[in-house]
Amino acid sequence: MGKPTGFLEYERKTSAAESPKERIKHFNEFHEHLPMEEQQKQGARCMECGVPFCQAGMTIAGMTSGCPLHNLVPEWNDLVYTGNWKSAYNRLKKTNNFPEFTSRVCPALCENACTCGLNGDAVATKENEYAIIENAYKTGLAAADPPKVRTNKTVAVVGSGPAGLAVADQLNKRGHNVTVFERSDRVGGLLMYGIPNMKLEKHIIDRKIKVMEQEGVKFVTNADIGKDAKSKKLVEGFDRVVLACGASNPRDINAPGRDAKGIYFAVDFLKGVTKSLLDSNLADNTYVSTKDKNVIIIGGGDTGNDCVGTSIRLGAKSVTQIEMMPKAPDTRAANNPWPEWPKICKTDYGQEEAIAVYGHDPRIYESTVKEFIKDKNGNLSAVKIVKLAWEKDPETGRMNMKEIEGSEQILEAQIVLIAAGFLGSQKYVTDAFKVELDARTNVKTAPGKFRTNVENVFVAGDMHTGQSLVVKAIRQGRECAHEVDESLMGYSNMLIQ
């Protein structure tokens, strides 16, 4: 697997990123990937580990270590090294339906569990994955391969995000007739409208959807099941129904002045910009413009960072990101050893761009919004924030965040974007299908299962487990498809991992 001395002979190399001040001039992906010959050297860096944590996908200290899809990482790293690109693609697609997505948007849990990373630099596994899948499209290996036999069983999948697409892809390959219903005007769900173009250009999604259509999957857009279309028709008209609608309820910030004009949920902001970009290259002005405005983003995760990068590209006067949590350490703490997920400070592309444009990191840590301040016309004019400190509750022993008296600060703002996460599935969908919910409003099933309380109705992805990663949604989709197949056929020979 790889070259035995490769990690000693070759330094880790990854794709070069366009400079922040140049890439903010457009909404395209901004990395220049390595030539194939150089990429093969990166494959050579993979060691023959006794225990390949990179593909383990296990939970350690409450966090995932290694790939949840259990990708055969050492095997296809070795095949990259030897230049056997066809076999590398065949090994990759055994476990991952959509490497064209994960090689762009996954946080690379595999690399953070790489044995090379224990005392040096991890293998560039994510970039190797990118090279494999892009070469597969270039050479025709990723072309449509329709199933030879059909079962005449029908499955409706509601939602076309990564979980829904994985369910559809797996069940279609098995020979079932699959129809995917998407409420938006374009297929892709979170991938299409929740992730900005600069992280995942939308023609990449369209390319894969075209292959799936050629393989027999049917897609129906502008179909809001439970609102514009009746759930009963799906339950009665298909042998099985899979709900994969995501965790679409954004968490709100209920501070005084919340009704001010100029406060938006991040997901709505990002969708509006992407849709306008695709429809008219922003000429239709149907999105929330941040041009020449002071923007405050509440939330420090990936979505918050995406709002930073998007706001800058739209010409924001300033961008500030408010985070409740303290700044993470720059290197692993002693209580966060390898191969645990590294709880370290990450400066992502949006924050890099803010530093380049405004001269400082946009993040303010250990703070929360105390009040949204309006002008006489009800428009947002400023935000009052307050610093927070951790205190132990003497009765319960729990650590709680308390406001620090006298630490209030007023920040000028005309736009606020709330990127505080999601709370669970949307009520009108779950009510329409009459599925049971758990305490977090996720659709309830038996542990480790995907069948709901409603006969022939299953659930997968964030709607089942709550907000998570694209790679975990794909895994959920694969597992759900296996259970659906088993219910249809009485057995399943479908490969999950």
Examine the domain organization and report whether 30 and 127 are in the same domain: yes
Within-domain flag for 223: yes
Average pLDDT over residues 141-150: 97
Does residue 227 belong to any structural domain of this protein? Answer: yes
pTM: 0.96
Rounded to whole angstroms, the Cα distance separating 367 from 363 reads: 10
CATH code: domain of residue 15: 1.10.1060.10
Containing structural domain, residue 110:
6-139
Q: Mind listing the pLDDT tens digit for each residue in 409-424?
A: 999 999 999 999 998 8
Are residue 229 and residue 292 in the same domain, yes or no? no
Is the Cβ–Cβ distance between 79 and 42 less than 8 Å?
no
Does some domain include residue 257?
no
Which residue, chain included where needed, has tokens 């994960």? 102
Is residue 2's pLDDT more than 90? no
Q: What is the mean pLDDT of residues 119-137?
A: 96
273 and 414 fall within a common domain: yes
Q: Could you tell me if residue 495 is inside a domain? A: no
> Does residue 404 sit in the same domain as residue 367?
yes
Please choose, from the candidates 184, 267, 275, 168, the residue with its C-alpha nearest in 3D space to the C-alpha of residue 224. 184
Same domain, 297 and 231: no
215-251 pLDDT, tens digit per residue, is 999 999 999 999 877 899 999 999 999 999 999 889 9
The answer to whether 198 and 28 are in contact (CB under 8 A) is: yes
Per-residue pLDDT, averaged over 90-107, amounts to 97
Identify whether 304 is part of a domain: yes
Q: Are residues 401 and 446 in the same domain?
A: no
> 303 and 412: one domain?
yes
From 418, 440, 469, give the residue that closes a domain.
418
Q: Which residues contact 348 (CB under 8 A, 6 or more apart)?
A: 302, 305
- 317 and 241 housed in the same domain: no
- CA R_g for the chain: 23
Report the CATH number at residue 231. Answer: 3.50.50.60
Q: Taking residues 349-366, report their average pLDDT.
A: 98
Q: Are residues 225 and 117 part of one domain? A: no
Question: Tell me, what's the pLDDT at 156?
Answer: 98
Please report the pLDDT score of residue 4 as a whole number: 85
CA gap 176, 358 in Å, rounded: 54
The helices-and-strands tally (H runs, E runs) of the chain is 18, 18
Cα 151 to the center of its chain, rounded Å: 33
Domains in the chain: how many in total?
Answer: 3
Question: pLDDT > 70: what percent of the chain?
Answer: 99
Q: Is residue 254 part of a domain?
A: no
Residues 55, 130 share a domain: yes
For residue 194, what is the DSSP state?
A: I
Strand 16-17, strand 31-32: pairing: antiparallel
H or E segment at 382? strand 380-392
Domain-terminating residue out of 418, 443, 463: 418
Number of other residues whose CB lies within 10 A of the CB of residue 319:
26
**Whether residue 497 has pLDDT greater than 70:** no
